[in-house]
Structure 1
Amino acid sequence: MFVSGNLALDLAGTLKWRRDTPEELLSEPGDLDSWLVDAGVLDAPPRADDDDLLMARRLREATYTLVTARLDRRVLPPDALALANEFAAIPPTRPVLTPDGLRRSGPVAAAFSDVARSLLTLLADPDAPIKECAKPSCTRLYLDRSRGARRTWCGMQECGSQAKMAAYRARRR
């Protein structure tokens, strides 16, 4: 699930296969809780509610809109940019050093702020190696930090292995 190399891009990836049959990974508030913990944004599930889920989806769509606009060399849509800036203005999560290590805590809105700040930092970097998966039906976005910037797929577990198997079968015919 976390193959993008950037927190905001990973959030954008919670709606998979946008072009064909979309697969929603944030179906209920508990999914958002799990995602925030698994992504490392918060250390404990925040107990998100339906409003939080709606806000996460709004931030996700703004992220996807902004990044694809950048990939297409279009002007960043003002509404999506305003929403990202609005989320980034919220106070971020609070890091706390404990005897067990660094912990991150805060309300769900603070977690959204961290995601939005990640997005703004990414968009502000003109050299950020952002790509979209080469599999036609996949809409995952990722940072290509591979040697020579030759990464083609969002990840090997789904798209990469499927593409390699298809190429292998084509060669065997």
Structure 2
Amino acid sequence: MEHVFPSGRPALDFAGTLRVRRGPSPREMLRSPESLSSWFSECRIVESDIACRPLDLRRAVALREAIYHLVVARITGARYDQEALGVVNDAARQPPPVPQLTEDGRRVEATVQQALSYVARDAIAVLSGPEVQLLKECANPDCTQIFIDHSRGARREWCRMDPCGNKVKAAAYRARKRASGESGIAANVSS
């Protein structure tokens, strides 16, 4: 698999396709029309590849950024950006993918616009649903994945323990060891 889906919600995972968003070198996961097509199939919006063009990729990235900005606004208590609202609502107005019954079972095929509509509708469901108060952004400074915190007491800090939680905990442990080692050295020098 080329993509990861840690949140379990298509809209939040789509917003997470720009990794290390605030870092010096963000990692773009939607690098080509083909990577967009694989995201749709790996997310299980459709069962087969969708023929995506460069224009489709630009629209998808615009939708991703709009979703991200709306979610961050909701998390921080800021007002929604009207342009971002328009992008999400316009995408949601398109018809969604339509499942079909075949001899082999269920099959879903879609155009790029239908797949983006699916993602936009999921964003609307998340941002207007009962779990909106549980939205969080990963506490790992190298990660900007958004997730819904279903933990007891809503105390979860990381999108996933592996790798984000482990990285932060290991860094904190090393910092404590360095600090205690330095203070032990300073105590020995002053004796």
Class of the TM-score when normalised by the shorter of the 2 chains: over 0.9
Q: What do you get for the CA RMSD once the two structures are aligned?
A: 1.5
Query: Aligned pairs, how many?
Result: 173
Partners in 1 of 2:6 and 2:19 — Cα distance? 13
Preserved CA contact (<8 Å) 2:131 2:148: no
Show structure 1 runs of 4+ deviating over 4 A: none
2:82 alignment partner in structure 1:
78
Match of 1:145 among 142, 150, 175: 150
Q: TM-score under structure 1 normalisation?
A: 0.93
User: What amino acid maps onto 1:70 in structure 2?
Assistant: R
Give unmatched runs, 5+ long, in structure 1: none
Cα-to-partner distance string for 1:95-132 (whole Å, 9 max, x where unaligned): 12334332221111100000000001111125421100
Partners in 2 of 1:4 and 1:127 — Cα distance? 13
- 2:70 is aligned with 1:69: no
Shift in Å, 1:172: 4.4
Q: Which has the larger radius of gyration?
A: 2
2:12 alignment partner in structure 1:
9
Which secondary structure does the structure 2 equivalent of 1:95 belong to?
strand
Of structures 1 and 2, the one with the larger relative CO (CA 8 A, separation 6+) is 1
Matches within 5 A, 1:10-159: 10-20=13-23, 21-125=25-129, 127-128=131-132, 129-159=134-164
Match of 1:168 among 165, 173, 181: 173
Structure 1 vs Structure 2: percent identity of aligned residues?
45
- Of 137-146 and 62-71, more deviation after overlay is shown by 137-146
Q: TM-score under structure 2 normalisation?
A: 0.85
